[in-house]
Amino acid sequence: MEKSPLISQELQQQLQLLLDRLTAPVELTCLPGEDEKSREMTCFLNHLVSLSPRLSCRVLAPGQEPELEAAMDGSLLPATGVGAPGEIPRMIFHGVPGGKEITAFAGAILAAGGGAKPLDRATLRDIGKVKAPLDIRVCVSLGCQHCAQLVSHAQRAAWENPRITAHMVDANLYPALVKAHGITRVPVTLVNGKAAFSGGKTMAELTTLLARTF
């Protein structure tokens, strides 16, 4: 197996400690393109799944599963979903989750695999108040700590409420999207296709905002 340069020996040890907390299987679904970032992502995923028997990965060809490709937004490749086996994932990463975003990616795996810390009742109540479908897209830079935290919060909300889908979007890879929304700095969060707010949010701030606004 080719090892990913994104996973150093030190990071591998840290990831294995986290992955040991999984109590349920987690499936990673990858929609790669033909570019170097897609090859980088598939190498990263193959290395990652070798670290835990509870992790599996599917790499899909274009058009192989149209419904899944639409749900994950195959227009922004590479796209990788994290979820339970056989389900359409609601926690999705567009780009390669290097830098700070590896933390968010690991958090999504922990949420799907039952290894994440429980949320408090007030936060769960706010997440549950979302009754209409929400497509949340956090546009990030891989070196941004606030971005990674916001991605983690949005994706945890998506895991807890099946009406929510949360995407990490590496803004550097999709210039057309950045231009369309006038993004000049990150994080910027799009909700249902429109710029909703900028800057970081705590979990409480995000879920309160979603519950009151959407």
Token readout for 112 is: 């799907």
pTM for this entry = 0.95
Helix or strand holding residue 125 (H, E): helix 121-128
Given a cut of 90, is residue 214 above it in pLDDT? no
The answer to whether 154 and 136 are in contact (CB under 8 A) is: yes
Which one-letter DSSP state was computed for residue 75?
A: T
- Which percentage of the chain shows pLDDT scores above 90? 91
The answer to whether 187 and 144 are in contact (CB under 8 A) is: yes
Q: Which of 39, 127, 20 is nearest to 78 (CA)?
A: 39
Domain extent listing, the chain: 9-213
Query: What's the pLDDT tens digit per position in 20-39?
Result: 999 999 999 999 999 999 99
On the 0-12 / 13-18 / 19+ scale of CB atoms within 10 A, 61 is: exposed
How would residue 210 be classed by pLDDT, with cut points 50, 70 and 90?
A: confident
Q: Domain 9-213, CATH 3.40.30.80 — does that match?
A: yes
Q: How high is the pLDDT of residue 213?
A: 74
The answer to whether 151 and 104 are in contact (CB under 8 A) is: yes
Given a cut of 90, is residue 212 above it in pLDDT? no
Q: Residues near 117 by Cβ (< 8 Å), separated by ≥ 6?
A: none
Query: What's the pLDDT tens digit per position in 92-112?
Result: 999 999 888 999 999 999 999
Query: What's the pLDDT tens digit per position in 156-171?
Result: 999 999 999 999 999 9
Beta-strand runs (E) in 39-161:
55-59, 79-83, 91-94, 134-140
Query: What's the pLDDT tens digit per position in 58-76?
Result: 999 988 999 999 999 999 9
